[in-house]
């Protein structure tokens, strides 16, 4: 029997993630939304593509949590997305209500699942989902750093005219305006970009990465980015489903690591079949520590408003 992945919120990110999973054939997919007919329509469309992709995944759409029962992984993309001029934290109250409700349902229907939170402001929503479900912190995580790093990788590849595949990047901190891109750990085939570009240029790429989401929001005018967010979510799902133990930047619960206690924060982790198998601690410079601390403070401020 295939593993089962449920996606709560069949909007742009949710449906595109469902497509990537179905296309891979790694799991069966349940696409859930509160809007009637929409998840059923999108799921049927994806199911009808499976013969063309050579995939045997079963894909269903639903408005009923019963259909998500005993999922191995649940991805939450339910909520409002940003409009031009909005920051991720502007979504706090409305999305918190949704996350509380969705998390309570998941805790009942899939008590042993691994939970990936995508909804913004993501780090805060991950902490809220963890609190609400009372799951082990290893089982609850958020997607953000992979996307931010993918954006930085793309901009580095544009600048140096090299394949993005050969570019690695690391972004720490919250998935917000205070994210901490790490040029020291961003490389082209192992060579740090600090060796390949002047400091001024790197600063420009970092700034573009910080505004990466907003750049797309202002171009699209309605809705926010979803192809790269879905590809990032799929990378997490795949690492867990196949127990790949990949090292990926995710929002994970910190309990003393990096000197931070009781807070979800973006750090590199090893993702495997148990969820967050390990938080990787690297030594940060004084300046990196200061930036990370600032990012923690921004997330904690929002967490304290809610929890």
Question: Closest approach of Cβ 263 to ligand TXD, in Å?
Answer: 17
Question: What are the backbone angles phi and psi of residue 119, rounded to the nearest 5°?
Answer: -55, 135
User: Angle, to 10 degrees, between the axis of helix 92-109 and the axis of helix 286-306?
Assistant: 80
Residue whose CB is less far from ligand TXD, 20 or 143: 143
17 forms part of the interface with ligand TXD (CB under 6 A)? no
78 forms part of the interface with ligand TXD (CB under 6 A)? yes
14 forms part of the interface with ligand TXD (CB under 6 A)? yes
119 forms part of the interface with ligand TXD (CB under 6 A)? yes
Q: Which stretch binds ligand TXD (CB under 6 A): 9-17, 161-169, 278-286, 295-303?
A: 9-17
Residue with the CB atom nearest ligand TXD in the bound state: 11
End-to-end CA separation in angstroms for the chain: 39
Kindly write out the interface string for residues 125-144 of this chain, putting x where it contacts ligand TXD by CB under 6 A and - elsewhere: ------------------xx
Pairing of strands 140-142, 191-192: unpaired
Using the rule CB under 6 A, which residue among 73, 122, 267, 271 binds ligand TXD? 122
Question: Closest approach of Cβ 1 to ligand TXD, in Å?
Answer: 26
Between CA 186 and CA 196 the distance in angstroms is 11
Residues in CB range of 164: below 8 A, 6 or more apart: 153, 154, 156, 157
Using the rule CB under 6 A, which residue among 4, 7, 9, 152 binds ligand TXD? 9
Between CA 274 and CA 240 the distance in angstroms is 7
CA dihedral sign, ordered 109, 124, 98, 177:
negative
- Provide the 8-state DSSP code for 137: G
306 forms part of the interface with ligand TXD (CB under 6 A)? no
Q: Which stretch binds ligand TXD (CB under 6 A): 2-10, 126-134, 240-248, 281-289?
A: 2-10
Question: Closest approach of Cβ 177 to ligand TXD, in Å?
Answer: 13
Helix, strand, coil fractions of the chain, as percent rounded to 5: 50, 20, 30
* 175 is known as an active-site residue: yes
Between CA 155 and CA 273 the distance in angstroms is 32
Count of Cβ atoms closer than 10 Å to residue 54 Cβ: 8
Contacts to ligand TXD from residues 165-194, by CB under 6 A = 175
Using the rule CB under 6 A, which residue among 27, 74, 81, 126 binds ligand TXD? 81
Instruction: Kindly list the residues in this chain that would bind ligand TXD in the complex (CB under 6 A).
Output: 8-14, 33-35, 77-82, 91, 95, 98, 101-102, 118-120, 122, 143-144, 147, 175, 223-226, 229
List, by residue number, the catalytic residues. 175
């Amino acid at each position: 029997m295939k593993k089962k992945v449920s996606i709560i919120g069949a909007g742009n990110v949710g449906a595109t993630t469902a497509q990537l999973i179905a296309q891979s054939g790694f799991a069966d997919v349940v696409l859930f939304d509160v809007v009637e007919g929409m998840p059923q329509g999108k799921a049927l469309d994806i199911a009808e593509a499976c013969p063309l992709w050579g995939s045997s995944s079963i894909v269903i759409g639903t408005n009923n949590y019963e259909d998500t029962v005993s999922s191995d992984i649940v991805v939450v993309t339910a909520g409002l997305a940003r409009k031009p001029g909005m920051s991720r934290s502007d979504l706090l109250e409305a999305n918190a209500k949704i996350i509380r409700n969705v998390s309570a349902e998941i805790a009942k229907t899939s008590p042993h699942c691994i939970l990936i939170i995508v909804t913004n402001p993501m780090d805060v929503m991950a902490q809220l989902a963890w609190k609400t479900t009372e799951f082990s912190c290893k089982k609850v995580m958020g997607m953000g750093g992979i996307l931010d790093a993918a954006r930085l990788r793309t901009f580095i590849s544009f600048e140096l005219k090299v394949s993005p595949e050969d570019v690695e990047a690391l972004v720490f901190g919250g998935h917000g305006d205070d994210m901490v891109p790490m040029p020291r750990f961003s490389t082209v085939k192992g060579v740090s970009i600090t060796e390949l570009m002047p400091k001024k240029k790197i600063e420009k790429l970092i700034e573009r990465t910080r505004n990466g989401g907003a750049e797309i929001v202002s171009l699209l005018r309605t809705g926010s980015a979803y192809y790269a967010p879905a590809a990032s979510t799929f990378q997490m799902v795949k690492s867990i489903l196949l127990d790949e133990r990949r090292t990926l930047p995710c929002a994970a619960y910190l309990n003393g690591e990096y000197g931070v206690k009781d807070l979800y924060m973006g750090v590199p982790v090893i993702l495997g079949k148990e969820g967050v198998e390990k938080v990787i601690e690297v030594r940060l410079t004084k300046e990196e520590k200061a930036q990370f601390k600032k990012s923690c403070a921004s997330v904690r401020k929002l967490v304290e408003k809610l929890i």
